[in-house]
Amino acid sequence: MRILSLNSFNRAWAALFLTGASVLGPLQVWSQGSTAFESNILVLEHFTNASCAPCAQQNPTFQSLMRNNPGRAVAVRHHVAWPGLDSMYLANPADPTNRVNYYGVTGVPALRLGRFALSTTMSQSTLETWYNITPANWVYDLETNLVGAGPDSVQISGTVYSLSTPDSGNRLIMVLAEDSIYYPPPGQPGGGLPGNNGERLFPMVTRRVLPDTNGIAVGSGAVPTSFSFKTRLAPRWRLPHLYLTGFVQNSTTKQVHKGFKLRLGLNIHTAVQETPNPTQNASVQLFPNPAAASTEIRLFGMENYLGNTDRPQIQLLDAAGRRLPALFHWTGETTLRMDLANVPGGLYHLEVLVPGKSAVYSKLLVSKP
């Protein structure tokens, strides 16, 4: 992991926080009831400071907007160095500073969706517009495993690939964030303020950009990029409140794609692209996906058509619509196993056709060693 170098002053402050030492008293964490995982969501980057008066004025409205849009958007908060004291910045000055320099942020509050500078006072309809026009071409298949004594580390492994042919220079940016940090009033245990703007509750605070501030270079097209790395967790961080968020961003244009939010210790598999059947509410799931030798097909919403002569017709199609030599074996009333031994690597469509109904499709990435 490459971490930007800190000057001696910031090293001393960072050491206090990373070893669990108290500067303003121990932080307490208050849960906002976040969901375990969300995929294909906007990941907004919010720049703020605990001594910024305009931030304190605008943040309640913005935080309400985020709470009202689960499954659509999440904002990670980068606490910056100005205009005054901010203990959360001092705990991790390198990563927020890197994102500030990357975007050229000169004032707070500031909000970025990649190359676009947005307003923290935007309306619900404006958020929905950005949600609808932001591309969602990247698929994330991730696992997070808590390891070590305590545990004291998290192992993050996964595969990322694109459903289209993207431009070059794309990188996976992941942010480890604490869902909410609360500072009690002075005089109470752990009481104190991280700054001077009066705020006490801070949601989705950036703890670390992973695996480093450069992110992970990802391949083009349907060629998957796999990765695995381990990072240590600071003693002050509360495990039940740590989330991994991420998105693919072009390093030159700064264009971002929809991303994900995942509680540590869980997995997320967004590789399954389900296409609902409008007349039957049917869907298909594939696991694993990407797959090499075989994959399991799970059928939903077709119970009335399974187990009789009207079983679905299933085909694997390439990009040109040609049928591939895949072998299907029924393993249950609603499950099949597909043998991919003779299927070349690439991106395919699985077609499930129930007689008299619309076809249901699901994307499958076949990855060969």
Q: What is the pLDDT of residues 212-227, one digit of tens each?
A: 999 999 986 667 888 9
Give the burial string for 225-253 (b: 16+ CB within 10 Å, else e).
bebeeebebbebbeeebbbbbbbbbbeee
Amino acid, single-letter form, for residue 58: Q
Cα distance between residue 126 and residue 128, in whole Å: 5
pLDDT tens per residue, range 83-117: 999 999 999 999 999 999 999 999 999 999 999 99
pLDDT of residue 222: 64
The percent of residues in the chain predicted with pLDDT above 70, rounded, is 79
| Contact between 279 and 286 (Cβ < 8 Å) | no
Output the six-digit token pair for 225: 């990029």
- For the cut 90, the answer to whether the pLDDT of residue 318 exceeds it is no
Comparing CA positions, the residue from 361, 360, 351, 346 lying closest to residue 165 is 346
Q: Which residue has the higher pLDDT, 234 or 351?
A: 234
Q: Which residue has the higher pLDDT, 238 or 269?
A: 238
> What is residue 50's three-state secondary structure?
coil
pTM summary value = 0.68
Q: Tell whether the torsion through CA atoms of 138, 143, 147 and 150 is positive or negative.
A: positive
In order of 165, 208, 214, the CA distances from 262 in angstroms are 26, 15, 20
Place 188 in a pLDDT band, splitting at 50, 70 and 90.
confident
pLDDT of residue 308: 52
Place 21 in a pLDDT band, splitting at 50, 70 and 90.
very low
Place 363 in a pLDDT band, splitting at 50, 70 and 90.
confident
| Contact between 32 and 179 (Cβ < 8 Å) | yes
pLDDT of residue 127: 96
Cα distance between residue 142 and residue 221, in whole Å: 19
Distance of CA 310 to the CA centre of its chain: 40
> What is residue 241's three-state secondary structure?
helix
Place 123 in a pLDDT band, splitting at 50, 70 and 90.
very high
pLDDT of residue 341: 86
Comparing CA positions, the residue from 288, 307, 308 lying closest to residue 298 is 288
Cα distance between residue 268 and residue 334, in whole Å: 23
Domains of the chain, CATH where assigned: 8-269 (2.60.40.10), 273-366 (2.60.40.10)
- For the cut 60, the answer to whether the pLDDT of residue 14 exceeds it is no
